[in-house]
Amino acid sequence: MTTMLSIVQVKNNEISQTLSIKKFKLIAGVDESGCGSLVGSVIAAAVILHAIQPISGLSDSNTLNKNKRLNLYKNIIKNALAWSIGYVDVTEIDRSNILEARLLAMKRAVHNLSVKPDLILINGNRSPGFTEIPYQCFNKGDARIASIGAASIIAKVTCDQDMIILDKQYPKYGFAQNKGYLTFFHLKQLALYGPISHHRKSFAPVKHVISDINKKL
């Protein structure tokens, strides 16, 4: 079982020795959600936790059941020192690519923080690059580092809430259940009714449906 690292453990054991540990008082964890969805924005979150007020139970949002994830979400937004969201909408995704969208969402989330961090810890092995703030990437950081786990939860719940809202506007696609991801039902409905404006038209399944529709015209 993976042990979640506290802020102190991260500073002592994980951060490169070339960085001065004493500088890091405000540590922001960053993660995103929705990259694999066929619909909507990529959403990233940045969270700065209180160093002396830990939140127990933080982990990779995908390993948590819905109720626990939602309870942690409420705890984070109530008790974190600062948190924020960064969006990259479907138009921007289709204009560039999903990797660039992911990195841009992370950068926006950090820039939207009400408190400027001293250090940024990023889930995964790619960073958007921050010129004024030191940063480090961590594979599976959402399961290892508390602040990244918190960001994972904020991003996931926000993404799911957006899909529930979209489901009320377009109930035929099952967004409340599939969260915009490729399922048999989603693909069937997509082929039957065609994409909506929120679908990512640069993604292969959507692109193929559009191509099939155009052939029939």
Amino acid at 191: A
Write the CA distances from 89 to 38, 44, 53, integer angstroms: 12, 12, 34
Give all strands of the β-sheet with 119-123 in edge-to-edge order.
Answer: 82-88, 42-48, 27-33, 119-123, 135-138
Pairing of strands 119-123, 27-33: parallel
Phi, psi of 150 (to 5 degrees): -65, -45
Annotation: binding site for a divalent metal cation: 31-32
Positions at the binding site? 31-32
Place of tokens 């990779």: 60
> DSSP letters of 40-107?
S-EEEEEEE--TTS--TT---GGGS-HHHHHHHHHHHHHHSSEEEEEEE-HHHHHHS-HHHHHHHHHH
- Cα separation, 198 vs 38, in Å, equals 9
Indicate the SS3 state at residue 29: strand
